[in-house]
Amino acid sequence: MSTFVYMVRHGESPKEGNERTRGLTEKGYLDAQRVTDILKNEEINVVFSSPYIRSILTVESLAQQIGEEVLVFEDLKERIFTSEDNRISDKELGPLLEESFFESNFSLEGGESNADC
């Protein structure tokens, strides 16, 4: 017996707002439908998600299609870069990531390092 794991990135989400509660844009809902369409012929038994609303919304219709609930796992969350609850801009994130790969214990105040993560 083989087990296949499909990793799905969440659909497009607004750039602003709370990391945990941002939903999906109109395009994000189309992205989510595309995920369901692509995987409709696969033998999927369970659907897991991170606790982020945008992630749950992305796989919700897939779970409904197989008659299951989305199982949410807190540990599937994204790395915490800062103590603030807002998204870090891509311009700020690039140098942060680069530094974190050179120094595994590097983090901003209130954030997680690669070692912590």
Place 85 in a pLDDT band, splitting at 50, 70 and 90.
low
User: SS3 for 70?
Assistant: strand
Which has more pLDDT, 94 or 30?
Answer: 30
Summarize the confidence of residues 83-97 as an average pLDDT: 76
CATH of the domain at 71: 3.40.50.1240
Q: Structurally, how many domains does the chain consist of? A: 2
* Joined tokens for residue 7: 């990793």
Q: 71-84: buried (b, 16+ CB within 10 Å) or exposed (e) per residue?
A: eeeeeeeeebbbee
Write down the pTM of the prediction: 0.75
- pLDDT of residue 49 exceeding 90, the answer is yes
Tell me, yes or no, whether 96 and 65 share the same domain. Answer: no
The answer on 31 and 86 residing in a single domain is no
Give yes or no for residue 110 having a pLDDT over 90.
Answer: no
- Average pLDDT for 32-53: 94
Cα 117 to Cα 111: distance, rounded to the nearest angstrom: 10
Instruction: Give the residue numbers spanning the domain of 87.
Output: 81-117
| 89 and 69 share one domain | no
Segment 76-88 shows an average pLDDT of 73
**Are 44 and 66 contacting, i.e. CB atoms less than 8 angstroms apart?**
yes
User: Does 60 lie in the same domain as 3?
Assistant: yes
Q: Are 30 and 101 in contact (CB under 8 A)?
A: no
Q: What mean pLDDT is reported for the chain?
A: 89
Average pLDDT over residues 45-58: 96
**100/32 Cα distance (integer angstroms):** 31
61/117 same-domain check: no
Q: Domain check: are 8 and 59 in the same one?
A: yes
